[in-house]
Every structure is written in structure tokens, then in C-alpha cells.
Amino acid sequence: MVCCFFEKEKFIKNFQNSLLRYSIMKLYTINTGYFKLDGGAMFGVVPKTIWNKLNPADENNLCSWALRCLLLEDDDKLILIDNGNGTKQDEKFFSHYYLHGDDTLEKSLAKHGFTKDDITDVILTHLHFDHCGGSIDKVNDKLIPAFKNAIYWSNEKHWDWAVNPNEREKASFLKENILPIKDSGQLKFIEVADWENKKSGSTIFSDNISLRFVNGHTESMMLPQIKYKDKTIVFMADLLPSAAHIPIPYVMAYDMFPLTSINEKRSFLKEAIEDDYILFFEHDPKYECCNLQQTEKGIRPKDYFNLEEV
């Protein structure tokens, strides 16, 4: 009887501790500014007469896109998902992308009471410059980790793909963003899972975060899937860079394997509407999040909202 009493007390204590961990998890949108990319490249084979209504282009056919990251305060971890363009490239490089807006990584972290030194983990969905450029700073001509106390998380398949780039993707994988991470000793790899198997197609990162893998945009891109309150939030990275990319044929010309992207989108959207996921967009210039609904034209956004409204 005494044993049962203590077992019951232990169960209650563990349950209370799990509720405490669950309740103190906090999510923050981290805006790092905007940049411009060619509208045609962003929407692939979709005609400009259609996509220009969704994200109007300027006189140079360029559209504005967000560089929106996500910060998770989870127990004793402060986890940053992606980190924008960074600032170390030269003026000629940035002249192609027309950076604009007042937000920076540092200012957005400070808004929530944090600095880069507080970050414990950096999850890099993939290593294109607009997702990992803030990983490394240039100080006195020396390349050093921007997050000196953090572990940087990638996966071996994508890392090998990025450090041995194909000719088409080479301009997106900048060695000064990538190689110093490994040289610092702060890089760790996440095991890649079979994404298409819903039950085993994700890798557990923590109690509240799993990572699913997609291969259409680039090899083994990671999509963090987060349990938050009673919801599931998926950080869409470049599978769905914006809400405007939800229609199945709207696939970027930047994708290495567009037919793979189409199949991944179709499978994900079916699951997302069935399980009522919230989609968090990294590049949408207007909308942070949406949920989904079935329409006559297929799966489309239902409600748009900011993360803080979840």
C-alpha cells in the first residue's frame, strides 16, 4: 500500500512537471527584414497575370519577401529556426536583393529580451544564404559563429549536398556561411527520417519539436513541427514560402526537383487539413500564419493571423 502511494505521488509529480514544461513554452516571431526576388522565379510556370495579383512586382519584376524566423523558449533551451541573410556579404552581393525594412535579427531578439549569446540551438532548415546567412559574423576579417553558445543543427545529407553544390544551386550555397560552422566545432547532425511515412517520417528533436524532411526544393530540407498549446505549428521554410504558394502547381523555379515538390505539397496539405495544422511562413510579406480549408479549387488558406494570436 505504501509502495502504491509513493508510485501515485511520483506519477502526479511527473505529470505536473510535464504540464509545467508544456505551459512555459513560448514562441516568438523574429523578423530580420525583407529582400526582393524575381517574381517569375518565385512562382515558376504560373503566369505573371495570375501571381502579380498575389504579390505585385516592381518595375524590375521583383517582389518583396520576408526573412521571418522563429524563436522557441522551451524549458532551458532557446531555439532559433533559421536566421536570415546576415550582414557580412559585400555591397555588390546585397545589391542583387534590395534589402529593405527596419527589422534586424538583433533588434527582433532584443524586443523579446534576448541577445544572440542567449541562443542555445540553431536549427537550419537548409543552407541557402537567405536561411543561414546570419549564422556567421565577420569580425576584423575573421569569420566566427554569430551564436557563440549555440549548437548548430543540420543533417548530413543536406550538408554534403551544400558543400559539394551542383552548378544550378551553387550561388545559393555560400561557403562563408557554411564551412565556419563546422570549423567552430558547434555543428551537429540530425538523423534523416523517411518523410513520406507519416508515423515514422519525422525525427524527434525535443518533447515539443519534431523535424520532417522534404527533397523537392533541395536535398533533405527540414521542416520543424511544433506542439504548442493544443495546436501543431509547422515552419514551412521553402516547401511553402508563402500562403500564395499553397495551390499545388505554384512551385518555385528555384526548386531542384519541382515534381517532387508537387508531390510533397499534395501529401503535406492533405495531412495538414486533416489534422488542423497551423502553417508558419518564412517568406510571406504579409501573413505570418494561416490554417486551411477545402474549397472547390482545392485546399486554400482559411484564416490569416499572427503567431501571437495562437
* Beta carbons of 40 and 253 less than 8 angstroms apart: yes
- Is residue 3 included in any domain, yes or no? no
- Is residue 9 included in any domain, yes or no? no
Residue 8 has pLDDT above 80, yes or no: no
Q: Among the listed ranges 21-30, 41-50, 71-80, which one has the minimum average pLDDT value?
A: 21-30
Phi, psi torsion values for 221, nearest 5 degrees: -70, 140
Over residues 108-146, the pLDDT tens digits come to 999 999 999 999 999 999 999 999 999 999 999 999 999
**What's the pLDDT score for residue 22?**
47
The candidate with the shortest Cα–Cα distance to 282, out of 248, 243, 253, is: 243
- Helix residue ranges, H only, the chain: 2-24, 39-43, 48-51, 91-95, 105-111, 129-132, 156-163, 175-183, 258-274
Domain total of the chain: 1
Q: Which three cell numbers stand for residue 128?
A: 541557402
Average pLDDT of the chain?
Answer: 93
- Is residue 95 included in any domain, yes or no? yes
- Is residue 171 included in any domain, yes or no? yes
Based on C-alpha coordinates, what's the Rg of the chain? 20
**What's the pLDDT score for residue 194?**
60
- Is residue 116 included in any domain, yes or no? yes
* Beta carbons of 78 and 126 less than 8 angstroms apart: no
What span, in angstroms and rounded, lies between the C-alpha atoms of 50 and 243? 14
- Is residue 222 included in any domain, yes or no? yes
Q: Which three cell numbers stand for residue 157?
A: 545529407
Residue 200 has pLDDT above 50, yes or no: no
Q: Among the listed ranges 93-107, 165-179, 183-197, 206-220, which one has the minimum average pLDDT value?
A: 183-197
Higher local confidence (pLDDT), 203 or 15: 203
Give the CATH number for residue 124.
3.60.15.10
DSSP 193: -
Residue 86 has pLDDT above 50, yes or no: yes
Show the domain range for 102: 26-309
pLDDT bin (cut points 50, 70, 90) of residue 16 is low
* Beta carbons of 231 and 22 less than 8 angstroms apart: no
- Is residue 2 included in any domain, yes or no? no
- Is residue 19 included in any domain, yes or no? no
DSSP 133: G
Share of the chain above pLDDT 70, in %: 90
pLDDT bin (cut points 50, 70, 90) of residue 5 is very low
